[in-house]
């Protein structure tokens, strides 16, 4: 596929694009062109690298032999499909890494939780003394450590639907977490979103291991793809092979035996929904021979990732949590469910076409929620859904939940703290950040900045 004579294009010059270019240059591939919508990157190019920049950067892709597509560039773009039809090899940095990786890969995907689960698996394996690397959507672009890998190493990859879409080889270990509506601004519909993730399992053989969450309807869609060992996890019922929650503990089951691995009360992550991340980590690391004591120690010590129900500080009896990574209604509901004390939710952001009907119903039924402060493009949409939900719930609704609006995060925090004298204020937007911020990280940093200035 890739030779020193190949005409190579890199579509998109983000983290993966930069890493891929550096790798190609280090291997003396001489005919490389970087294509990007931004016209401001030309000065950053190494000598000898060509560029196609600006709004027509996808034009004439048929000129190339091999194209490396960055995750943000849609595989179904008409210009890319024209190139495919002309026989151009279109792949991605992640797919290239998976094709050439000399050691077992643990691939983790899902709408939410994949970063937490991937990192937890990595931390457990590291504590067990294994030589393990973390990459993909989190940590380093995997191509950066490809040349360092040996056959007895392990790689944990967090994989988005964008990265999985055109993969032709599956990781040996595939973990599916929850799958809900997300990225519908990128994918045509939910069906295409589900199909994009098939590559995690589709190309496994009988030696592969698939871990699926049996509590979600989608699981039946993916079970049919499993060729090797199927492991299930569940918070709702016991499973014969996998992990489940019973008697306030996470259990591991295999070959008719059950082991109590870690107590729920001891887990370092905030929120019961994080059990959905702990269970697959237990299954994968048990499959790799890690002792229960090591798993227990690592799970208890792991406090999560930045911007995922991250505790910021306590001020005058109120604890502040930053959940800026919440970009779907389901994750916002999970944040509300995580607390039993009086709470104010700060929500809202960029409108990417998600449905907030169930979100409104579920948060209003939470007995701890006292108020909601809405901010961002989704304010009117969320407010209308809350009002409709109040009418539908009627007498079933306990104490009335106050709804306020704000123009920015600082005003939202000020209104929340003026209302709540003791308890929890959590920012869990349930939507993307692109209306006011460049990323969920920038939004989360702004929340931290305001709270630390109180």
Strands 242-246 and 249-254: antiparallel
Residue 447: pLDDT above 80?
yes
| Residues 195, 176 share a domain | yes
Tell me the C-alpha to C-alpha distance, in Å, between residue 254 and each of 233, 257, 399. 12, 5, 46
User: Which run of H or of E encompasses 384?
Assistant: helix 379-393
pLDDT in tens, 381-394: 999 999 999 998 88
Inside any domain, residue 2: no
| Residues 244, 197 share a domain | yes
What token pair was written down for 384?
Answer: 């209308």
Using DSSP, state whether 134 is helix, strand or coil: strand
Measured CA to CA, the distance from residue 382 to residue 97 in angstroms comes to 41
Inside any domain, residue 3: no
Inside any domain, residue 349: yes
Domain termination residue (choose one: 67, 92, 117): 92
| Residues 145, 51 share a domain | no
| DSSP β-bridge partners for residue 213 | 233
Q: Which residues, other chains included, contact 450 with Cβ-Cβ below 8 Å and sequence gap of 6+?
A: 409, 410, 413
Instruction: Evaluate the CA torsion angle 400, 403, 409, 414 in order and state its sign.
Output: negative
- pLDDT score, position 397: 72
Residue 77 belongs to what domain range? 8-92
How many domains in the chain?
Answer: 3
CB 431 within 8 A of CB 348: yes
pLDDT in tens, 94-137: 999 999 999 999 999 988 899 999 999 999 999 999 999 999 98
List strand residue ranges (DSSP E) for 57-104, in order: 66-69, 89-92
Residue 25: pLDDT above 60?
yes
Residue 307 DSSP label: T
Residues in the chain: 454
Measured CA to CA, the distance from residue 125 to residue 231 in angstroms comes to 19
Strands 209-213 and 173-176: parallel
| Residues 397, 284 share a domain | no
- pLDDT score, position 76: 82
Residue with tokens 């049996």: 214
User: Which run of H or of E encompasses 174?
Assistant: strand 173-176
| Residues 67, 138 share a domain | no
CATH of the domain at 341: 3.90.190.20
| Residues 111, 216 share a domain | yes
Tell me the C-alpha to C-alpha distance, in Å, between residue 151 and each of 22, 190, 195, 348, 387. 24, 37, 31, 46, 58
Measured CA to CA, the distance from residue 186 to residue 72 in angstroms comes to 9
Across the chain, mean pLDDT equals: 93
Q: Which residues, other chains included, contact 5 with Cβ-Cβ below 8 Å and sequence gap of 6+?
A: 31
Using DSSP, state whether 234 is helix, strand or coil: strand
Instruction: Evaluate the CA torsion angle 424, 178, 263, 304 in order and state its sign.
Output: negative
Nearest to 341 by CA among 311, 373, 367, 378: 367
Residue 251: pLDDT above 90?
yes
Inside any domain, residue 1: no
pLDDT in tens, 331-362: 999 999 999 999 999 999 999 889 999 999 99
Residue 401: pLDDT above 80?
yes
| Residues 231, 160 share a domain | yes
What token pair was written down for 273?
Answer: 């929904």
CB 187 within 8 A of CB 111: no
Inside any domain, residue 202: yes
Residue 188: pLDDT above 90?
no
Q: Helices marked H in 128-270 — which ranges? A: 161-164, 190-196, 199-202, 219-223
Q: Which residues, other chains included, contact 20 with Cβ-Cβ below 8 Å and sequence gap of 6+?
A: 10, 68, 93, 96, 141, 143
| Residues 158, 289 share a domain | yes
| DSSP β-bridge partners for residue 9 | 33, 67
Inside any domain, residue 215: yes
Report the helix count and the strand count for the chain, using DSSP H and E: 15, 20
pLDDT in tens, 273-304: 999 999 999 999 999 999 999 999 999 999 99
Measured CA to CA, the distance from residue 3 to residue 373 in angstroms comes to 56
| Residues 339, 226 share a domain | no
pLDDT in tens, 31-58: 999 999 999 999 899 999 999 999 999 9
The pLDDT of 417-422, averaged and rounded, is 97
Domain termination residue (choose one: 301, 327, 356): 301
Residue 194: pLDDT above 90?
no
Q: Helices marked H in 128-274 — which ranges? A: 161-164, 190-196, 199-202, 219-223
Inside any domain, residue 208: yes
Q: Please, which pLDDT band fits residue 434 given cuts at 50, 70 and 90?
A: confident
Neighbours of 238 (CB within 10 A): 14
List strand residue ranges (DSSP E) for 317-446, in order: 318-322, 343-347, 369-375, 402-406, 423-427
- pLDDT score, position 184: 47
- pLDDT score, position 330: 92
Residue 398: pLDDT above 70?
no
Q: Helices marked H in 43-89 — which ranges? A: 78-85
Q: Which residues, other chains included, contact 202 with Cβ-Cβ below 8 Å and sequence gap of 6+?
A: 170, 225
CB 198 within 8 A of CB 174: no
Using DSSP, state whether 373 is helix, strand or coil: strand
Of residues 160 and 415, which shows the higher confidence score? 415
| Residues 330, 376 share a domain | yes
Q: Please, which pLDDT band fits residue 180 given cuts at 50, 70 and 90?
A: low
Tell me the C-alpha to C-alpha distance, in Å, between residue 297 and each of 68, 123, 150, 262, 302. 40, 10, 27, 9, 9
Domain termination residue (choose one: 272, 301, 330): 301
Please report, rounded to a whole number, the percentage of residues in the chain having pLDDT higher than 90.
82
Inside any domain, residue 440: yes
Residue 183: pLDDT above 70?
no
| Residues 178, 59 share a domain | no
- pLDDT score, position 187: 44
| Residues 221, 256 share a domain | yes
């Amino acid at each position: 596929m890739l030779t020193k004579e190949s005409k190579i294009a890199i579509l998109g010059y983000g983290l993966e694009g930069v890493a891929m270019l550096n790798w190609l240059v280090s291997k003396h591939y001489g005919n490389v062109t970087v294509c990007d919508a931004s016209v401001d990157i030309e000065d950053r190019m190494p000598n000898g690298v060509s560029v196609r920049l600006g709004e027509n950067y996808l034009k004439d892709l048929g000129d190339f032999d091999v194209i490396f597509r960055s995750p943000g560039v849609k595989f179904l773009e008409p210009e890319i499909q024209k190139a495919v039809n002309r026989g151009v090899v279109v792949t991605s940095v992640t797919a290239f890494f998976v094709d050439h990786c000399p050691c077992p890969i643990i691939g983790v995907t899902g709408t939410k939780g994949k970063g937490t689960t991937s990192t937890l698996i990595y931390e457990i394996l590291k504590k067990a003394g294994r030589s393990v690397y973390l990459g993909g959507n989190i940590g380093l672009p995997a191509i950066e450590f490809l040349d360092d890998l040996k056959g007895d190493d392990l790689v944990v990859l967090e994989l988005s639907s964008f990265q999985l879409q055109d993969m032709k080889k599956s990781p040996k270990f595939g973990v599916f977490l929850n799958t809900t509506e997300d990225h519908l601004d990128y994918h045509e519909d939910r069906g295409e979103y589900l199909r994009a993730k098939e590559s995690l399992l589709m190309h496994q053989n009988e030696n592969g291991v698939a871990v699926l969450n049996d509590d979600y309807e989608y699981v039946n869609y993916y079970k049919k793809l499993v060729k090797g060992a199927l492991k299930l996890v569940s918070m709702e019922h016991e499973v014969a092979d996998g992990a489940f929650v019973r008697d306030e503990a996470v259990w591991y089951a295999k070959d008719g035996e059950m082991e109590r691995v870690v107590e729920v009360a001891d887990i370092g992550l905030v929120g019961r929904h994080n059990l959905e991340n702990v269970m697959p980590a237990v299954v994968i690391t048990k499959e790799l021979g890690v002792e229960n004591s090591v798993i227990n120690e690592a799970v208890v010590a792991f406090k999560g990732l930045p911007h995922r129900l991250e505790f910021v500080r306590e001020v005058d009896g109120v604890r502040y949590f930053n959940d800026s990574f919440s970009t779907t209604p389901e994750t916002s509901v999970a944040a509300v469910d995580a607390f039993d004390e009086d709470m104010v939710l700060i929500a809202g952001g960029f409108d990417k076409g998600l449905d907030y009907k169930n979100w409104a119903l579920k948060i209003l039924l939470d007995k701890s929620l006292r108020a909601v402060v809405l901010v961002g493009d989704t304010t009117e949409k969320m407010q209308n859904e809350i009002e409709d939900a109040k009418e539908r719930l009627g007498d079933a609704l306990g104490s009335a939940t106050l709804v306020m609006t704000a123009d920015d995060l600082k005003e939202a925090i000020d209104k929340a703290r003026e209302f709540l004298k003791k308890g929890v204020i959590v920012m869990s937007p349930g939507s993307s950040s692109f209306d006011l911020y460049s990323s969920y990280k920038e939004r989360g940093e702004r929340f931290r900045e305001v709270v630390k200035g109180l």
